[in-house]
Structures are given as C-alpha cells and as structure tokens.
C-alpha cells in the first residue's frame, strides 16, 4: 500500500500557498491523531485493499507535518505499522521546515520509522524568505541538514522555488550553489505559480508585484537542469532531481498510476478505477470524522479515456517517457527535430526543453 497522510497545520501561510492548511499557534496533535486513526479504521479492512499486507511507502505531507508533537507522531506510526508493517526497504517521508529540526525531534522521527526528510528551503536569500512569509533563516537550513545527518538520515531532500518576481533581485545561481553545497540526496525545484486565493495572488491583482516573464522562467529552469546534472543528479521528473537510487519512491507511485490511499483533510486517493478526495478544510473534516459522517467530498470514475490521457501526461513528465507507439510518427519526428524529445529503447522521453512545453506537447499528442 502507498499511504499519504495530510497534516494541515502551519504556523503561518506562505505568500504563494494555496494548499489546504490550518494556521494554528498550537498544533492539536492528540486530537488530530485520534481523528486520523478513526479515519484509518474505516479503510484498513476495506476489500479494495486486500492483498496490501504492508506499506511500500508512507508520506506525511502538509501543511507542516513536523509541527506534530513527536510523541503523537510515534503513536500514529505505531498504530499504522501494527496494521500494515513496513515492507523491506519501505520509504517513509516527513515534510519539515528547517526551524522544526532539532536533535531531539530528529531522533524522535527516526524512532517513529521516518527514513526520508523533505526540507522546505525555497531560498537562502533573507529578503526572499521574508517576502515568502517563511519563518526560517538561511543559517537554519545548514544546521537542519547537519542535525538530520547526525541523527542518521541518509536521504534528505531540499525544496527550492525559482522564477520569482524580478523586483526581489533573487540570485538563482547562488541559491542553487548553496543548496548543492549541503550535499542533499534529492532536490525538488518548482517554478512559482500565482494562485488567486493567496497573498501573492492578491498582490498581483493589485499590481503590487509582477511574475517574471516566460523567458526568465525558462532560463532558470534550464540553469537548474545544467547545474544539477553536472553535479551528478538525475533529472528524473520535470521538477525533481535525485542521486542514483534516491528518487522519491512515493511520488513515482503517483506518476506510474499505482493505487494509493490518502488520509486527512483534502487528501486524495485512487484505486479500482476511481479517484476520490476528502473534505478540504480541517474544521469540516474533523467534524465529519467525529460524527461518523462521510469524509469524502467527491469522486470521479477513471474512464479508459481519462486513463489514456493520464498515462500520456504522467509518462511524459518523467524521464521514463511513453512507448514509441503512443505518439504519432509525424509528431514524434517533429519533437525530435526540435530537440524536445529523444527515443531510447522504444520509449520517447522529453528533454529539458521539451519539459518546458509539457502541457502543449500533451495537447498536440492528443491528450
């Protein structure tokens, strides 16, 4: 079983964030774990998960999962592992912010079975971090990585955001260099997206800030591609780079359309030809669980047409690509001639230049 758990709590909403979060000064860890285990009890014996005797991956996302009290996180994982033991080599990921990493918390996470940490860095520039509403400093990033290593974590990922407004004067090359100097096993590199219902969306709507032009988005995306490949990372998905053997196994399950279960507010699940998602807000989800009411907000059937489109899109967003026959010969020839795709062992994969055009290429291919 691939299991995702959404922990919605944050100390503050980041300026660009449109995720389902609940801003709390004090995290209601015990209440959250109680409710999550109630939701888990509804699913653990569901017939569609028969044969899933163990956890292949477990991912704590958010929100800020590292804001959970370590003792409550341990209570949660203990209960999960009793019902679904970890498979050999299972990947267990916790998203965390640098300011939450201490020697005590890192040890507690290890004891709870966490073996991979995804650290939300985004930038090392103090002015940029303030603009993003981030609470950590650049120095805290280095200390967090060192602390995690000392606690025995040998799989640490860093998140960075590129294509920020020009007025910030952010030095993308410097941020990349500082990130690589910490020796992460994996990096996730995301372009800034302006969402309407965020502080950033309101700033843009009022004309107080402007997103960068497409040309700079492309320049920074390709600069990361060149720098990270030169440092030995594999660019295995449009936004993700890993050392050999350090690709994000849980996320790869999504991209290969494996069945997965999501617990917590807004969590998505997919199995047996359908996809469903939970009530988005913490207050709605917690009330429904407490009252024994359904927590599923909506669902969709995965028709053959939807499956075909997803396989095309998800295949092209990874370096695994799609079978050669999935793309019409004339379209394939056009992409190869333009330098957007390459054919290897009967599979067509996009280049970095192709990934910049991913959405339009999928449409051109009939998706």
User: Where in the chain are the domains?
Assistant: 2-255, 305-364
Print burial letters for 300-334: b (CB count within 10 Å at least 16), e (below 16).
eeeeeeeeeebbbbbbbbbbebbeeebbeeeebee
Tokens of 159: 């998140």
For residue 298, how many other CB atoms are within 10 A of its CB?
9
Question: Looking at residue 84, what is its pLDDT?
Answer: 93
Contact present, 347 and 332 (Cβ < 8 Å): no
The whole-chain average pLDDT of the chain stands at 95
Q: Which CATH architecture has domain 2-255?
A: Alpha-Beta Barrel (3.20)
Mode of pairing for the β-strands spanning 274-278 and 296-301? antiparallel
Q: Tokens for 267?
A: 């969590």
Place of tokens 């995290």: 27
pLDDT at residue 15 tops 80: yes
Phi-psi label, residue 366: left if phi above 0, alpha if psi -120 to 50, beta otherwise: left
Averaged pLDDT, 306-332: 95
Region 44-61: what's the mean pLDDT? 88
What average pLDDT does the segment 18-43 reach?
95
Is the pLDDT assigned to residue 336 strictly greater than 80?
yes
How much is the average pLDDT of 48-74?
93
pLDDT at 321: 96
324-351: average pLDDT: 96
Tell whether the model's pLDDT for residue 367 goes beyond 70: no
Angle separating helix axes 282-290 and 29-43, nearest 10 degrees: 60
Q: Which two tokens stand for residue 92?
A: 């267990």
The answer, yes or no, to whether residue 124 has pLDDT greater than 80, is yes
Q: What is the pLDDT at residue 226? A: 98
Mean pLDDT of 47-71: 92
Q: Which of 254, 235, 213 is nearest to 353 (CA)?
A: 235
Q: Which residue matches tokens 């075909």?
A: 308
Q: Which is more confidently placed, 45 or 352?
A: 352
What is residue 212's predicted lDDT score, i.e. its pLDDT? Answer: 86
Percent of the chain with pLDDT over 70: 100
Q: How many helices (H) and strands (E) does the chain have?
A: 14, 17
Q: What is the pLDDT of residues 222-247, one digit of tens each?
A: 999 999 999 999 999 999 999 999 99
Supply φ then ψ for residue 306, to 5 degrees.
Answer: -65, -45
Mean pLDDT of 171-192: 97
Q: Which position has the token pair 């990922």?
A: 157
- What is the tens place of the pLDDT at every residue in 138-181? 999 999 999 999 999 999 999 999 999 999 999 999 999 999 99
pLDDT above 90 (res 49): no
**What does the pLDDT read at residue 189?**
98
Please, is 232 exposed, middle or buried when counting C-beta atoms within 10 Å of its C-beta (0-12, 13-18, 19+)? Answer: exposed
**Contact by Cβ (8 Å): 107, 151:** yes
């Amino acid at each position: 079983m691939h299991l995702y758990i959404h922990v919605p709590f944050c100390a503050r909403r980041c300026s660009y964030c449109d995720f389902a979060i609940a801003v709390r000064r004090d995290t209601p860890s015990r209440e959250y774990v109680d409710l999550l285990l109630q939701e888990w009890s509804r699913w653990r014996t569901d017939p569609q998960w028969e044969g899933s005797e163990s956890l292949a991956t477990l991912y704590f996302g958010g929100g800020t999962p590292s804001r959970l009290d370590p003792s409550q996180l341990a209570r949660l994982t203990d209960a999960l592992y009793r019902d679904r033991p970890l498979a050999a080599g299972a990947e267990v990921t916790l998203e965390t912010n640098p300011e939450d990493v201490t020697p005590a918390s890192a040890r507690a996470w290890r004891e709870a079975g966490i073996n991979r940490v995804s650290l939300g860095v985004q930038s090392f520039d103090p002015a940029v971090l303030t603009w993003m509403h981030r609470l950590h400093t650049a120095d805290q990033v280095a200390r967090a990585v060192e602390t995690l290593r000392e606690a025995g974590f040998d799989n640490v990922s860093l998140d960075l955001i590129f294509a920020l407004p020009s007025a910030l004067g952010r030095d993308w090359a410097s941020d990349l260099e500082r990130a690589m100097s910490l020796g992460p096993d994996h990096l996730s590199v995301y372009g800034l997206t302006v969402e309407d219902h965020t502080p950033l969306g309101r700033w843009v709507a009022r004309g107080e800030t402007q997103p960068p032009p497409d040309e700079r988005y492309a320049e920074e995306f390709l600069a990361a591609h060149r720098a990270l490949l030169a440092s030995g990372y594999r660019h295995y998905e449009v936004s993700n780079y890993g050392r050999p053997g350090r690709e994000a196994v849980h996320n790869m399950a999504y991209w290969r359309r494996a069945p997965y279960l999501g617990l917590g507010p807004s969590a998505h699940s997919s199995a047996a030809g359908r996809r469903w998602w939970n009530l988005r807000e913490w207050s709605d989800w917690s009330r429904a669980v407490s009252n024994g009411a359904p927590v599923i907000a909506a669902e969709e059937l995965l028709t053959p047409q939807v499956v075909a489109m997803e396989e095309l899109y998800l295949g092209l967003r990874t370096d695994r690509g799609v079978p050669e026959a999935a793309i019409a010969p004339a379209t394939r020839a056009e992409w190869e001639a333009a330098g957007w795709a390459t054919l290897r062992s009967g599979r067509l994969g996009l280049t970095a230049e192709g990934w910049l055009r991913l959405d339009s290429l999928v449409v051109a291919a009939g998706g």
